[in-house]
Amino acid sequence: MAEHIEANGEDELQLVLQKVYMKDASFEAPNAPGIFQQMGQNPEQQPQVQLDMGHKASKLDEQTREVVLTLTLTCTIGDQTAYLAEVQQAGIFSMAGFSAEDEDTLIGSYCPNVLFPFARHILSAMIQDGGFPPFLLQPINFEALYAEQKRRVAEGEPTPTLNS
């Protein structure tokens, strides 16, 4: 994917997704097989799912960044952990001609938004392959999260960080 913005016939801004890859993934079902029996015996007891999310970027060269989106899902039933699934979905992005502020915005909202569908697919497959009912993580508005984080920083409020 490449996006070019031209001004006066010259490329000024360039954003290219060079590569998407899974950097790390893990799945644990620490209370299996007992948790499956517990789920079958008490179908009214609803699983509780907690999502922890973060992202980080590292500079590979002047124009190239590796952005890693980390999603961790923890599912509990009662006081027992049913499963813990984590994926680190990464991408290599080339950015040219952007100001530092615009680059920060791309890394904070655009890049995680590009990586999210890949991470969501891997999480869903791991959970189902782990013997649990299918789970589809709802879309996340990374632009709104980034804007909220910037607002909190500007107002001096403590922020739940998007960067891990």
Between the alpha carbon of residue 69 and those of residues 7, 60, 97, 124, 162, the distances in Å are 32, 16, 24, 16, 9
User: Strand 10-28 vs strand 2-7: parallel, antiparallel, or unpaired?
Assistant: antiparallel
pLDDT at residue 151 is higher than 70: yes
Q: Please give the CATH superfamily to which domain 19-154 belongs.
A: SecB-like (3.10.420.10)
Q: Which of 19-33, 54-68, 140-154 has the lowest mean pLDDT?
A: 140-154
Mean pLDDT across the stretch 141-145?
93
Q: Are 71 and 119 in contact (CB under 8 A)?
A: yes
Instruction: State pTM to two decimals.
Output: 0.85
4: phi then psi, degrees, rounded to nearest 5: -120, 140
Domain chopping of the chain, boundaries: 19-154
